[in-house]
Amino acid sequence: MLKVHVRGEAGYDETLASLARRGDADLEKVEPAVREILTAVRERGDTAIRELTQRFEDRTQEHVLVPEAEWRAIAEACPADVREKLAAAAERIRRYHEHQKDPGFQYTEEGVTLGQRVRPVRAAGVYAPGGKARYPSTVLMTAVPAAVAGVPRIVLATPRITPEIAAAAVVAGVTEVVDAGGAQAIGALAYGTESVERVDKIVGPGNIYVACAKRLVFGVVDIDSIAGPSEILVVADDGADPDVVAADLLSQAEHDEDAYPLLVTISKAFADQVANKLEARLAKLSRKAIATESVQRNGYCFVAGDRAEAARVADALAAEHLALAVDEAEALLEDIGAAGAAFLGHHTPEAAGDYAAGPSHVLPTGGAARHASPLGVYDFIVRTSLIRYSAEAIRAQADLLEGLAELEGLEAHAQAVAARRER
């Protein structure tokens, strides 16, 4: 089922080039519908949210903004062992993100004090999908970094609050819960409604409607990224276990039909072994239909021939999840410039990153790792430049500042400097 392309044979370079552009999402096809939804929410608030939820989810909401006592009570219905696992994962995620804190800086030279102040945003909206599966792990991976950053209002938007989702919200530090999904949830977070106060930043993955809505509200609020389908790129040498590699590929294929299970091997013989193991595992998978469609639609294998070519392919694809099932994985990673998260060695499953390793699993997709980074504490802060001149410093720089202002023909700028020098 994997479409195999061998280095040096026809189609290899063309397929690689095409996959490197997989992030060119076709959001335009849903943009008219999303604009209509966002306009309705902006103009009619909670009423529009209720109507859209009835229309798309066939249910009636009791509250758009769920009372805190209610969602915390829902969390109590979550089995104790599940709550313990969520708390353990949240603590690991919290410890990792503590290392990302930025204290800012300040220094003085020649009478000029310069610095940077770092503060959290006032409110962050975190979105957790509720389509083909429920993702309490996404609540942890979005809200915990916000809490570590010190964000005072963390607003979770998700459809159908389950005990697991509510329990994750409790341990992650969520302060408010909005019972809404899709583009209408993004609209509520961005514009506010009668019951939902607007936020400053929206983060978290979602379907094409959510992605399009986030793009359209950017500027009204900040966003983390435009997330596309999940993807994994496994780079495996002949020392890897083909059954383990097949399991890793299916760990992403089971997400949804549009996911990308990608493989780079050194030899065709190993690629054939993985293909056989993949077929065997697919036959027993509970989400067989979804995973099969993903593999048939977006499953590719590149037989690179050597490590250098494998690194070139991996760098070109700039995958969300990069699993290096090779000996001396760190050395190979040095030759791969772009990846969302790198899973190093034969004993590191991508699933560890999804749940409890520590780093957020909200990662750049579709090749965006060339210019974007994983979600982190730095996504929830704003920086302010600090500038203070002494009287001596402004006199010392007056000629420079006035000269540059005059160069640009901005007389009042120059006068603002001269007025201080004359004092």
Residues 135 and 235 in one domain: no
For 139, the enclosing helix (H) or strand (E) is: helix 136-149
| pLDDT tier for residue 293 given thresholds of 50, 70 and 90 | very high
What was the pLDDT predicted at 387? 98
Considering the domain boundaries, does residue 308 fall inside one?
A: yes
- On the question of pLDDT at 64 being above 70, the answer is yes
Considering the domain boundaries, does residue 8 fall inside one?
A: yes
What was the pLDDT predicted at 201? 98
pLDDT, average across residues 277-300: 96
- On the question of pLDDT at 26 being above 80, the answer is no
Residues 238 and 310 in one domain: yes
For 123, the enclosing helix (H) or strand (E) is: strand 123-127
| pLDDT tier for residue 25 given thresholds of 50, 70 and 90 | low
Answer with the one of 224, 240, 269 that is the final residue of a domain.
224
Mean pLDDT across the chain = 95
Considering the domain boundaries, does residue 300 fall inside one?
A: yes
What was the pLDDT predicted at 36? 98
What was the pLDDT predicted at 309? 98
pLDDT, tens digit, for every residue of 315-355?
999 999 999 999 999 999 999 999 999 999 999 999 999 99
Tokens, residue 258 = 């549009």
- On the question of pLDDT at 29 being above 70, the answer is yes
A 10 A CB-CB count for 386 gives: 13
- On the question of pLDDT at 68 being above 90, the answer is yes
For 176, the enclosing helix (H) or strand (E) is: strand 176-179
Considering the domain boundaries, does residue 371 fall inside one?
A: no
Residues 167 and 316 in one domain: no
Smallest Cα–Cα separation from 341: which of 232, 248, 250?
232
CATH code, domain carrying 139 = 3.40.50.1980
pLDDT, average across residues 262-288: 96
Whole-number Å distance between alpha carbons of 235 and 370: 18
A 10 A CB-CB count for 362 gives: 23
**Rg (Cα) of the chain, in Å, rounded?**
25
Residues 205 and 351 in one domain: no
What was the pLDDT predicted at 131? 63
- On the question of pLDDT at 133 being above 70, the answer is no
Alpha-helical runs (H) found in 205-306: 208-217, 242-253, 268-284, 288-298
> Which residues contact residue 186 at a Cβ distance below 8 angstroms, ignoring those fewer than 6 apart?
38, 125, 127, 157, 202, 206, 210, 213, 214, 217
Considering the domain boundaries, does residue 370 fall inside one?
A: no
- On the question of pLDDT at 398 being above 70, the answer is yes
Whole-number Å distance between alpha carbons of 282 and 276: 10
What was the pLDDT predicted at 132? 60
Considering the domain boundaries, does residue 383 fall inside one?
A: no
pLDDT, tens digit, for every residue of 363-380?
999 999 999 999 999 999
What was the pLDDT predicted at 423? 78
- Give the SS3 label for residue 110: coil
pLDDT, tens digit, for every residue of 96-119?
999 999 999 999 999 999 999 999
Tokens, residue 110 = 């020649």
Percentage of residues in the chain having pLDDT higher than 70: 99
**How many domains are there within the chain?**
3
Answer with the one of 224, 259, 274 that is the final residue of a domain.
224
What was the pLDDT predicted at 130? 79
pLDDT, average across residues 171-190: 97
Q: Which of 122-136, 202-216, 277-291, 316-330 has the lowest mean pLDDT?
A: 122-136
What was the pLDDT predicted at 141? 98
Residues 176 and 277 in one domain: no
pLDDT, average across residues 4-14: 95
What was the pLDDT predicted at 280? 96
Answer with the one of 224, 240, 259 that is the final residue of a domain.
224
Residues 10 and 21 in one domain: yes
Q: What is the DSSP string of 275-303?
A: HHHHHHHHHH-TTHHHHHHHHHHH-EEEE
Residues 302 and 185 in one domain: no
Residues 192 and 247 in one domain: no
Residues 153 and 183 in one domain: yes
> Which residues contact residue 377 at a Cβ distance below 8 angstroms, ignoring those fewer than 6 apart?
97, 100, 101, 102, 145, 148, 149
Bigger pLDDT: 207 vs 250: 250
Within 13 A of 49's CA, how many CA atoms are on the CB side? 27
> Which residues contact residue 332 at a Cβ distance below 8 angstroms, ignoring those fewer than 6 apart?
235, 307, 310, 311, 324, 326
Residues 214 and 273 in one domain: no
Taken in order 229, 232, 226, 358, the sign of the CA dihedral is positive
| pLDDT tier for residue 265 given thresholds of 50, 70 and 90 | very high
Domain boundaries, position 417: 390-422
| pLDDT tier for residue 386 given thresholds of 50, 70 and 90 | very high
Considering the domain boundaries, does residue 106 fall inside one?
A: no
- On the question of pLDDT at 125 being above 90, the answer is yes
Residues 414 and 332 in one domain: no
State phi, psi for 218 to the nearest 5 degrees: -60, 130
End-to-end Cα distance, the chain: 79
For 317, the enclosing helix (H) or strand (E) is: helix 307-317
- Give the SS3 label for residue 187: helix
Active site residues: 320-321
What was the pLDDT predicted at 414? 97
- On the question of pLDDT at 20 being above 70, the answer is yes
| pLDDT tier for residue 139 given thresholds of 50, 70 and 90 | very high
What was the pLDDT predicted at 364? 95
Whole-number Å distance between alpha carbons of 281 and 243: 8
Residues 11 and 51 in one domain: no
- On the question of pLDDT at 23 being above 90, the answer is no
Considering the domain boundaries, does residue 111 fall inside one?
A: no
